[in-house]
Chain A
Amino acid sequence: MSDLRELYQDVILEHSKAPRNYRQLATANHKAEGYNPLCGDHFTLYLDLEGDSIHDISFQGSGCAISKASASMMTQSVKGKTREEAGKLFEQFHKLVTGQASGNQADLGKLAVFSGVSQFPVRVKCATLAWHTLQAAMEGKQEPESRVTPSTRQEKRYEVSSIWP
């Protein structure tokens, strides 16, 4: 039962019930959808990228507690970071949830609470869905004209295509 308590910690449960940055983003210039057909997690991620940094970020959608909490905490962690920093965080997060963490988790901060996921391989895709979706959103191409426009520029979609990592 302690493994379970590791996975469904208060912080995670709290974020799943009251997710942060849970709204549409009027100033979004990037958008991506993430979908896990295995259990029906479905999120839309909105990004306001200014130059190279994530000025604002939000998400909407539904899914299991792990995926929602992960999305919520992810948006908190990457706001204000550069694309590169966000990418590095994803790498560390991925290592954490797949049990490959090396020990230096200082950068992950609160995200370290997801370490319990490594005991539940079936749920790894739930924890990483938001991050994959973020990557898809960041890779969305910019159009030549002004970058600061309220309208959504580029839609991309990430879909979990296989069960086993």
Chain B
Amino acid sequence: MTAVANRIPRELRSPRVRGAGFDVEKVRHDFPILREKVRGRTLVYLDNAATSQKPQVVIDAISRHYERGNANIHRGVHFLSEHATEEHEAARGTVQSFLNAEEASEIIFVRGATEAINLVAQTYGRTQVGPGDEVLITAMEHHSNIVPWQILCEQKGGRLRVIPINESGELLLEEFQKLLNTRTKIVAVTQVSNALGTINPVQRIIEMAHRENIPVLVDGAQAVPHLKVDVQALDCDFYVFSGHKLYGPTGIGVLYGKSALLDAMPPYQGGGDMISSVTFEKTIYNKLPYKFEAGTPHVAGAIGLGAAIDYVNGLGMDNVAAYEHEVLTYATEAVAAIPGIRLIGTAREKAGVLSFLLGSIHPHDIGTILDQEGIAIRAGHHCAQPIMQRFGIAATVRASFGLYNTKEEVDALVNGIQNVREVFA
């Protein structure tokens, strides 16, 4: 196989000097899976938008909990239970600081962004949306921020409206303004698109919605790994994200909501912990956040998430964002230079994601060939079929980057794409 160097134009070859403030080689050592070989090749993991890899400290925190600290939380009277409760609630505090929420009680632990959105749709939505009312989302949403609202609208006779996008994958804010009306009960928008990588101007969107007294839910699943988020600065009414995309374990996620809203919402799931007292005649619900945390929580998950946030904070989210921006820019230029490439998602402000097509070669075929070289990307509709329809395509190849990816890995991707071209020549 021809050396990689021959394929990359001189001006785009990765420089020897690392970006200041971010030692990616040191970071890579923190992630054990990056040492794995797949199909005899070094793993080049470019599927971070699907899920991120985990640093040893997160793995250790979870193992340690099970090895030495495991117990059920909140109501035990023994040492382990008290310890586990402290760890769980400390993780909640970590998330609160991470998002800069005013109160820890505004941080609800859920399974992930999907459950968080379903929760809001079925509690806030169910009590606020009536026949003829509207829920406003965008054309670039993940199915998780579409389907719960569709279900709600069907249940309550509401109507789903969609803010359109331009060819670059940017929201048309003038259209958004026109869509806001007295029947709009909530706006749900993604901060970063998982299919296009577009960073939406959520602060502006929230301002515009609040002028009409309309609350906004922000889907931060793809945002929190790449940008610093301050929910008070954004003034969003709800914010959701998943732990597993943020270098934490699967099965844990967060719903942030303003206290006043959460207080007024009915409970989502009923059961233990979310109650204050139970009789067959009447049950009184628990205060926040517990009102929305029925049953035994994913204690290990919360602890793992706390450790993941600590890890990222240790690197500095600003440093991470700057480094990732460098890598994404490098990747975009290198891939765009390949003949036959069509980039999907060319917004001026992007993070994390590079979606593309190569001639008329089906993304699934590209994915299989890249997989043989140890390169993990995603081929398909990325749980965003409406976006695919908008661009008149069935699927794209999506390379998505995390804080441990390197320019060398981008070179390997480019090399792989050249190989695909050869196979299909």
Q: Give the B-binding residues of A (Cβ under 8 A).
A: 1, 3-4, 7-8, 13, 38-42, 62-66, 120, 122-123, 126
Contacts and interface: CB of A to CB of B under 8 A. Distances in A.
Q: What 10 pairs across the A-B complex have the smallest Cβ distances?
A: A40-B394, A64-B362, A39-B364, A64-B364, A40-B395, A4-B372, A65-B365, A64-B365, A8-B423, A39-B380
Contacts of B372: 1, 3-4
Contact of B379 (A3, A13, A39, A66): A39
A123 B423 contact: no
Nearest to A123: B368
A66 B365 contact: yes
B280 interface: no
Contacts of A1: 372
Given A40-B381, A65-B365, 14 more contacts: A4-B369, A4-B372, A8-B369, A8-B423, A13-B424, A38-B380, A39-B380, A40-B362, A62-B394, A64-B364, A65-B361, A65-B424, A66-B364, A122-B368
Nearest to A39: B364
Interface of B: 361-365, 368-369, 372, 379-381, 388, 394-395, 423-424
Contacts of B424: 13, 65
B364 A123 contact: yes
20 contacts: A1-B372, A4-B368, A4-B372, A7-B368, A8-B365, A8-B369, A13-B423, A13-B424, A40-B362, A40-B381, A40-B388, A40-B395, A63-B362, A64-B364, A65-B365, A65-B424, A66-B364, A66-B365, A123-B364, A123-B368
Contacts of A3: 372
B90 to A, nearest CB: 38
B385 to A, nearest CB: 9
A40 B380 contact: yes
Nearest to B40: A1
Contacts of A13: 423-424
A97 B281 CA distance: 61
B22 to A, nearest CB: 34
A37 B424 CA distance: 24
A40 B381 CA distance: 8
Contacts of B423: 4, 8, 13
Contacts, number: 46
Contacts of A126: 364
Contacts of B368: 4, 7, 120, 122-123
Contacts of B362: 39-40, 63-65
Contacts of A66: 364-365
Nearest to A2: B372
Contacts of B395: 39-40
A3 B373 CA distance: 11
B329 to A, nearest CB: 29
A4 B420 CA distance: 11
Contacts of B361: 65
Contacts of A120: 368
A123 B388 CA distance: 21
A38 B394 CA distance: 10
A136 B423 CA distance: 33
A76 B114 CA distance: 46
Most chain B CB neighbours (cut-off 10 Å) among A64, A122, A126: A64
A66 B364 CA distance: 9
B342 to A, nearest CB: 16
A38 B382 CA distance: 10
A126 B364 CA distance: 10
A3 B368 CA distance: 11
Nearest to A5: B423
B355 to A, nearest CB: 14
A4 B366 CA distance: 11
A62 B394 CA distance: 9
Contacts of B379: 39
Nearest to B424: A13
Contacts of A63: 362
B394 A42 contact: yes
Nearest to B363: A39
B384 to A, nearest CB: 12
A66 B369 CA distance: 12
A35 to B, nearest CB: 10
A117 B261 CA distance: 54
A1 B372 CA distance: 7
A117 B85 CA distance: 51
A109 to B, nearest CB: 24
Contacts of A122: 368
Contacts of B380: 38-40
Contacts of B369: 4, 8
A65 B360 CA distance: 10
A99 B424 CA distance: 25
Nearest to B423: A8
B287 to A, nearest CB: 42
